[in-house]
Amino acid sequence: MWGKAESELLARRLGGEVGIPVKVIRPGPLVDYGEFQPPGRLGREVGPIFVAVGGRRSPLSVCDVRTAARVVRRYVQAFDAEPEVLNLVEAPAPTRGELVARLKQVRPDLRVLWVPAFLLRVLAAPLKLAQRLALGSTAPVDVYAAFASERYRTDLAAEAIARAGASAVPAPSRAFHPVVEEA
């Protein structure tokens, strides 16, 4: 996160110095609803089980790649009309349950085990201590933070997505195989 924030500041400063306007689009975790793979904050696959973290009804901010493409295209076409900084996420955010349902459509063989977020919050400190003691870790992983959702104000994203309109390019079908001619 720090590197991204510094890059944004540098780009805006350099753009100002040379007279080139700079706008920042910060996409949320990118997903492809057409070829769905779960974002890391949703959970992890462990063998034949998907361990989903959090409540089924809790939102998880993501951005479909087609939404992101439409918004970026809109920025190119109407640069001056778009906001200086945009946290680009689907608005409203899908719930964790909806995302797991998408995963089950692609992987009906998976069983789902739901782990409440509060349980990870309670276990986070003891797990960090165990990592320090047993593994000698100087930078233990905060398991709760790894799955916690960031909160975004989605009103600006919803407006930008609406201005970008519906996709002119349909999502590729699963049977899409491009033909490549040999030279």
- Per-residue pLDDT tens over the stretch 31-59: 999 999 999 999 999 999 999 999 999 99
**Average pLDDT for 140-151:** 78
3-state secondary structure labels for all residues of 46-95: ECCEEEEECCCCCECCCEEHHHHHHHHHHHHHCHHHCCCEEEECCCCCCE
**Average pLDDT for 119-123:** 85
Strand-strand pairing, 24-27 and 85-88: parallel
Which of residues 177 and 92 earns the better pLDDT score? 92
Which pLDDT belongs to residue 179?
A: 42
Domain spans in the chain, listed from the N-terminal domain onward: 15-116+150-164
Which of residues 131 and 177 earns the better pLDDT score? 131
Q: Is the pLDDT of residue 169 over 60?
A: no
**Average pLDDT for 19-27:** 94
* Strand-pair partners of 44: 51
Distance in angstroms (rounded) separating the CA atoms of residues 88 and 112 = 29
Strand-strand pairing, 43-46 and 49-53: antiparallel
Which pLDDT belongs to residue 166?
A: 63
Tell me the average pLDDT of the chain. Answer: 87
Residue 147, burial from CB neighbour count under 10 angstroms (0-12, 13-18, 19+): buried
Distance in angstroms (rounded) separating the CA atoms of residues 54 and 121 = 11
